[in-house]
Structure 1
Amino acid sequence: MLLSAVAFLGFASLSLAVWPQPRDFKHGNTTVWLSPTAEFSYMPTGADELREKSDYFSTFVDLEEVFNFFQTPLLRRNKTSEKTLPSVAKLVKKAVKRTGKEIYRTKFVPWKFHPRNSSFEPAVDGQHAVIRRVTINQNSTNQTKAETRDVIHEDESYDIEITADGEAEITTKSAIGTIRALQTFRQLFYAHSSGSGVYTPYAPIAISDAPKWSYRGLNLDISRNAYMPADVKRTIDAMSSAKMNRLHIHATDSQSWPLDIPAMPSLAAKGAYHPSLVWTSSNLRDVQMYGLENGVSVFIEIDMPGHTGSIGYAFPELVSAFLAHDWEKYALQPPSGQIKLNSPGVNEFLDKLMADLLPRVSPFTRYFHTGGDEFNLNTYLLEESIRSNKEEVLRPLLQGVVTRLHTAIREAGLTPIVWEELVADWNLTLSSDPAKKRDIIVQAWRNTTAVKHILEQGYRTIFGSGDFWYLDCGHGSYINPKPNSTAVKEPFLDWCSPLKNWKHMYIYNPLEGIPEDLHHLIEGGETHMWSENVDPIILDKVVWPRAAAAAEVLWSGPRTANQIQDASHRLSEWRERAVVDLGVGASLAQMTYCLMKEGSCEL
């Protein structure tokens, strides 16, 4: 320990601008600068078998290296090897180097967070202490055994200490703990407007931190409107800054199939909106690897059997009610079409799809989402071998499709995730071990009551109520009224209006009404970005900083309205860093006047 207990006497126990709020944060008011040649010394213990120079190292933040980074053509950056995944140690090595560069090239000068015309910056007089070495002590015990993808699931706790005389130490229990610590360490420093370097005005600093929930996710729909890998990587940058660690990509839907399946190339060739919008195997791999490097597990959802109309563009014989004229009879949104439930051709299609996709995604994640929501019964009035919309007829057929998919997913070493309807509405058998139900995760989205119901069935559960955490709400209906129609009328609201502002999202308490004896089954939660009314041009401002508000709930636990005033300043500072340093076009969290503390902006 660098700091004694005496050193903390009189320190305010505030969280300052760190987001999400650490479990424990003590600080002073002494300025310490970070040297441009600061040495980041990383040497995990318990890994004697991997004593390679390339794995354990000391690195320097070098001004020439920073300059060279900016001269490197964009297409040569972040290239992912098509051969083998890096070791866990090399993953951390890259994170340490990246953090050093990012801290020193920050352009964030926090003028908005001080009274106007105040002299808030430290004097550049050489009188302050300088951090010349950051020691990273990673007390790992399973460094040599973990698969790269499993780094996300290890102990995320960490401690950071910075003394007033410039000593800095990070202590963690795992590789992912080190990555999380670095994400916080970066937030402690500001650029000086003179260009003289970066500093923290809050030394000595002591942070001890760990997350409330292990699953802290964002669901991004790339099918209804098209997104490309650069959009998703930018989203991952913001997620990692807010310590979100699961990116659920809703990859296909009835509107389009952008994901290339090499075993069935016509799927994307005919199902994507345009040839330029197809995600290749290399694109997917690159994004998943980028996620791992930034502490985010990226996994895919292929929603079935509902939301599968786009399969019909390539294989119309596999889809019932494909592009039916009266689409509203067969779907909640256009176009209609669901895979058939009683077709040998569909079984062959599913087997081929899983055989192609699962081996490609499994090195990067533990999860695969198979959907199961908004299943339309009337569709099967048109399937020749069924001609029924009765639940008792369709249930065993639906069970067969789900079991087929989940068997393949488990054989690939992955955990299936499904939407709540398969439990709440259909009561399907989802686990291969009904007594324990540990090999499946059920995602609740309708309300807190649904969360409780799923937990009472014994399933591991992800929360994310549409009442609070749907980012797409409040943008209006995309359905146009027919002439003389009363089904869609002014003011043309969407189903989940109004818009969920960040304060509303911030005080969502996922534990409300949930008995304590069921809390252990809660994996965490997810906020949702459905894309009917959103495309890459407005993605950032719709998602951020509202998703970051959800991220603090997931990391720090349920919030209250009494914490909003403090949160508005910290979230605003997080937003400024995201805009200035990450290039994320996030919306405002608070007006500048309120941040400058000339008025409280409270009522």
Structure 2
Amino acid sequence: MMLPLYCVDYLKVAADGAYITATTVFGAMRGLETFSQLIYHRPDGGLAINEVTGLYDQPRFQYRGILIDTSRHFVNLHTILTHLDAMVYSKYNILHWHIVDDPSFPYESYTFPDLAAKGAFDHEHIYTQEDVKTVINYAYERGIRVIPEFDTPGHTQSWGAGQPDLLTPCYANGQPNGEYGPVNPILNSTWTFLTSLYQEIDNVFPDNYIHLGGDEVSFTCWESNPDIQAWMKKMGYTDYAKLEEYYENNLIDLVNKLNKSYVVWQEIFDNGLKIKMDTVIDVWKTGWEKEMDAVTKAGYKVILSTCWYLNRISYGEDWKSVSNTCSCAA
């Protein structure tokens, strides 16, 4: 489900009425939003709007998104729908739903029900597939796409609760230490599981894109595991970034077979992984100016997510430091 780039060809407000000409229905919706924001209250309590001889409205960027993280902080369905309404006011068109992560797996999978049953905070903090459908339909009616993120191979601690043998056992002094690291990429069972899960995700989330994550993958656990070490030696790998590259390219091939396009976090690019040129790189770290320059010069499409981390809240006028240092776009 790909919404076209909206274009309000013409908005006019005159004594004999208001006129909106748009290329698509989504353009007409944005035009009505612009029209509503031109209305103001008169001192006598009435409503008025200034004459507009001709207003042309077109977005500078195709991707105007907001990310919500529902693993670290569960957001109920009503709040998500209210959030979508708020996005309309500023003409955002992408909801990046970072739906699962280390702390919790709140997505209800029909194929693997234990992922939520054992990986969510509790049975009340789960999005059913009907909830997901409600969000997607509600968003679409407002000209907003929903792009899900299922971040792997790191940020998957909650996955391991409901899917045995998915995560890599960590070792210390030659023995398992009871801790687990990223997804174990060397097991056939891993790829059987991921194939089935992403097939379900493809059926549930109709957007052309899926965010595959790939950020903050620690190699420490992989390095400690003797089975990983033996497999690396057999493959001729001496660098654990090559193991990460093996994982990501296999995952991308899997998603390609579903006719999905994909987004990954910037670490995939920064670690020098050889990835396909249709991969979209999501930049989120500081130093974004140099990163954006490097990624675009390499020929990749890019999303800039560095700015406006709304969870970075302190007392005082935070917005001044943010608005003066970066202008977010994609």
Same fold (TM over 0.5): yes
Q: Give the whole-Å Cα distance in 2 for the aligned partners of 1:375 and 1:454.
A: 20
Whether 1:463 and 2:304 are equivalent positions in the alignment is: yes
Query: Does the residue aligned with 2:74 lie in a helix, a strand or coil?
Result: coil
Q: Which moved more, 1:293-302 or 1:337-346?
A: 337-346
The answer to whether 1:341 aligns with 2:185 is yes
Q: Is the 8 A contact 1:157 1:210 kept in 2?
A: yes
Pairwise CA RMSD of aligned residues?
Answer: 2.8
The answer as to 2:16 corresponding to 1:175 is no
- Please name the residue that 2:291 is paired with: 450
* Aligned 1:179-578 pairs, distance under 5 A: 179-190=29-40, 199-321=47-169, 337-362=181-206, 365-387=207-229, 392-425=238-271, 427-431=272-276, 437=277, 439-446=278-285, 447=287, 448-465=289-306, 468-474=307-313, 501-510=318-327, 524-525=329-330
SS at match of 2:54: strand
Given the alignment, which residue of 130, 134, 158 partners 2:9? 158
Higher-strand-fraction structure: 2
Aligned in 2, Cα 1:414/1:278: closer, same or farther, shift over 3 Å? same
Distance 1:190 1:337 in 2: 56
1:503: how far off? 3.3
- 1:304–1:508 CA distance, 2 compared to 1 (3 A): same
1:451 deviation in Å? 1.5
Deviations 1:532-559 (A, max 9, x none): xxxxxxxxxxxxxxxxxxxxxxxxxxxx
Work out whether residues 254 and 337 of structure 1, in 8 Å CA contact, stay in contact via their aligned partners in 2: no
- Which residue identity is paired with 1:298? V
Deviation at 1:321, TM superposition (A): 4.6
The one-letter code matched in structure 1 to 2:185 is L
Contact 1:158 1:181 (C-alpha < 8 Å) held by counterparts: no
1:471–1:500: 8 Å Cα contact kept in structure 2? Answer: no
Residue 317 of structure 1 aligns to a residue whose secondary structure is coil
Structure number with the bigger relative contact order (C-alpha 8 A, sep ≥ 6) is: 1
Deviations 1:80-130 (A, max 9, x none): xxxxxxxxxxxxxxxxxxxxxxxxxxxxxxxxxxxxxxxxxxxxxxxxxxx
Deviation at 1:306, TM superposition (A): 0.8
Check conservation: 2:64, 2:92, Cα contact below 8 A.
yes
SS in 2 for 1:215: coil
**Helix, strand or coil at the partner of 1:260:** coil
Deviation at 1:187, TM superposition (A): 1.3
Contact 2:42/2:48 (8 A) holds in 1: no
Q: SS state of the match for residue 153, structure 1? A: coil
Q: Residues 256 and 273 of structure 1 are in contact (CA less than 8 Å); yes or no, is this contact kept in structure 2?
A: yes
Structure 1 runs not aligned, ≥5 long: 1-148, 432-436, 476-497, 512-523, 526-603
- Inter-partner Cα distance in structure 1 for 2:169 and 2:30: 48
C-alpha displacement of 1:262: 0.5
Contact persistence 1:424–1:453 (CA under 8 A):
no
Structure 2 Cα separation of the partners of residues 510 and 245 of structure 1: 17
Q: Which residue of 2 aligns with 1:590?
A: none
Task: Decide whether the 8 Å contact of 1:308 with 1:339 is kept in 2.
Answer: yes
Shift of 1:296: 1.1
Structure number with greater Rg is: 1
Cα gap change, 1:170 to 1:462, in 2 (>3 Å)? same
Alpha-carbon separation, structure 2, partners of 1:395 and 1:380: 11
Q: Is the 8 A contact 1:320 1:338 kept in 2?
A: yes
Q: Residue type of the partner of 1:429? A: K
- Aligned partners of 1:312 and 1:337 also within 8 Å: no
Report the 3-state secondary structure (helix = DSSP H, G, I; strand = E; otherwise coil) of the residue aligned with 2:99. strand
Residues 473 and 500, structure 1, Cα contact 8 Å, conserved in 2: no
- The residue aligned with 1:69 is none
Letter of the 1:461 counterpart: V
Note if contact 2:149-2:212 (Cα within 8 Å) is conserved in structure 1: yes
| Residues 1:404 and 1:271: Cα distance change in structure 2 (over 3 Å) | same
* Amino acid of the structure 2 residue aligned with 1:383: N
Question: What one-letter code is carried by the residue in structure 2 that aligns with 1:350?
Answer: L
Please tell me whether the aligned partners of residues 474 and 500 of structure 1 are also in contact (alpha carbons under 8 angstroms). no
Once residues 106 and 223 of structure 2 are traced to their aligned partners in structure 1, the CA distance between those partners, rounded to angstroms, is 29
* Counterpart mapping for 1:97-176 below 5 A: 149-150=1-2, 152-163=3-14, 165-176=15-26
Question: Is the Cα contact below 8 Å between 2:11 and 2:52 reproduced in 1?
Answer: no
Q: CA 1:411–1:158 in 2, change beyond 3 Å: closer, same or farther?
A: farther
Q: Distance in 1 between matches of 2:216 and 2:316?
A: 22
CA distance 1:200–1:383, change in 2 (3 Å): farther
Shift in Å, 1:366: 2.0
Structure 2, unaligned runs of 5 or more: none
Q: How does 1:61-72 map to 2 (within 5 A)?
A: none
**TM-score, L = length of structure 1:** 0.49
Report the Cα offset of residue 411 of structure 1: 2.9
CA contact (8 A) 1:442 1:462 kept: yes
Q: 1:320·1:382 contact (CA, 8 Å) conserved in 2?
A: no
Whether the 8 Å contact between 1:271 and 1:313 is mirrored in structure 2 is yes
The CA deviation string for residues 221-240 of structure 1, in whole angstroms up to 9 with x for no partner, is: 11012112222111111111
2-structure distance, mates of 1:500, 1:257: 35
Give, in whole Å, the separation in 1 of the partners of 2:317 and 2:260.
33
